[in-house]
Amino acid sequence: MFSRSARQPERPGSTIAADAVFTGNITTAGRLHIDGAVHGDVRCGELSQGAGGAVHGNIVAEAARLAGLVDGAVEAGTLALEASARITGDVLYESLGIAPGAEVEGRFRRRKGPADHGACSARAEAVRAASAGTEAAETVADPAVAAPRAPAERTPRRAARTAAKGPELFPVPAELHPDAEAAE
């Protein structure tokens, strides 16, 4: 019942050692452990990051356990942030765990499933379909998603807050931006 042969062997994975610096995008369906530095985007099945690890790019993973520095957006089905994690960028997740001490400079958005990459991509898709003259715009389940929002009233406080924001993980196309009509 408890024999060693009954256990499933762990899937082997790739490791970026603490003294390694990798420049370029990484894509793997398997496991990846990062103790070194990666300058590029990471897309993998399962990601673990040591406290000394650094990723300067976006991360997309089915499951991720982050303990180091991430300078970019994070998208994961299951995401665990350790106490030593430092993230500068937006976070898209299905299931989230945050240890006390973890720091995130960005926005959190819960996705509904693996195919959900945020509402802005759905809006952009609907606008592309409508401008192409296809019937795909009719397939949007919620017409409010495809319709641009009315421009909000600009107050000095809101203008300062908007100006202070950096680049967005889920940019809104110019046609759908609430301030697009005000600028014209």
121-130 tens-digit pLDDT:
444 444 455 5
**155 DSSP assignment:** -
55-95 tens-digit pLDDT:
999 999 999 999 999 999 999 999 999 999 999 999 999 99
Structure tokens at 12: 């082997």
Query: What are the residue ranges of helices labelled H in the chain?
Result: 119-132, 143-146, 156-164, 180-183
Domain boundaries in the chain? 4-110, 119-183
